Amino acid sequence: MNKFKFVLFLMLTTMGGLWVINLPYPMIRRPVAQTVPLLLLPSFLGMDYNYRQAVSLVEQADQLVNRAISAEDFELGTEKVEKAQQHLDQLPVWFLGYEPKAYCSLFQCSWRFTYDEFATARASIGRMEAKIFQEKNALTAFQQGDQAVLAAKRQYEQAQTPDEQQAAIALWQDGMDQLQLVPGETVAGQSAQTKLVAYNRDFEQVVGTRQGSDQSTTLIESAKVFAMAAAEMGQNPPHPASQWEEAIRLWQRTIQQLEKIPADNPGYLEAQRLLATYESNLSNVRIRLKEEQESAQALNQAKDRLARLIELEARSPNPTRQASEIQAMINNLTQVQSGTTAYPEAQSLLESARRKLSELQG
84-113 burial code (b ≥16 CB/10 A, e <16): bbebbeebbeebeeeebeebeeeeebebeb
How many whole angstroms from its chain centre is CA 345? 67
What tens digit of pLDDT does each residue of 9-38 get? 556 565 555 555 555 555 555 555 555 554
Q: Which of 87-91, 239-243, 279-283 has the lowest mean pLDDT?
A: 87-91
CA distance 190 to 174: 19
Residue 267 DSSP label? T
Question: Apex CA 122: angle with CA 116 and CA 128, to 5°?
Answer: 135
The reported pLDDT for the residue numbered 118 is 65
- Whether a cis peptide bond, with omega within 30° of 0, leads into 319 is no
More confident residue, 179 or 79: 179
pLDDT in tens, 98-142: 444 444 444 455 545 555 666 666 667 667 766 767 777 777 888
CA separation, residue 108 to residues 37, 44, 335 (Å): 15, 11, 128
**pLDDT of residue 323 exceeding 50:** yes
- Asked whether residue 70 carries a pLDDT value surpassing 50, the answer given is yes
pTM here is: 0.49
DSSP 254: H
**pLDDT grade, residue 170 (50/70/90)?**
confident
The per-residue pLDDT for 4 is 59
Q: What is the reported pLDDT for 160?
A: 79
- Checking if the pLDDT of 309 tops 80, the result is yes
Eight-class DSSP state of 260: T
pLDDT of 97 reads 47
Looking at residue 38, what DSSP letter applies? G
Say which DSSP state 94 is in: G
Please write the tens of the pLDDT for every residue from 177-231. Answer: 888 888 877 777 778 888 888 888 877 777 666 555 667 778 888 888 989 999 9
pLDDT over 70 percentage in the chain: 65
Question: In angstroms, how far apart are the furthest CA atoms of the chain?
Answer: 175
Mean pLDDT within 309-314: 80
Most confident of 72-76, 119-123, 150-154, 164-168: 150-154
What are residue 353's phi and psi, to 5 degrees?
A: -65, -40
Contact 205, 255 (CB under 8 A): no
Report pLDDT for 276.
92
How far is Cα 338 from Cα 346, in angstroms, rounded to an integer? 10
Question: CA-CA distance, 129 to 118, in Å (whole number)?
Answer: 16
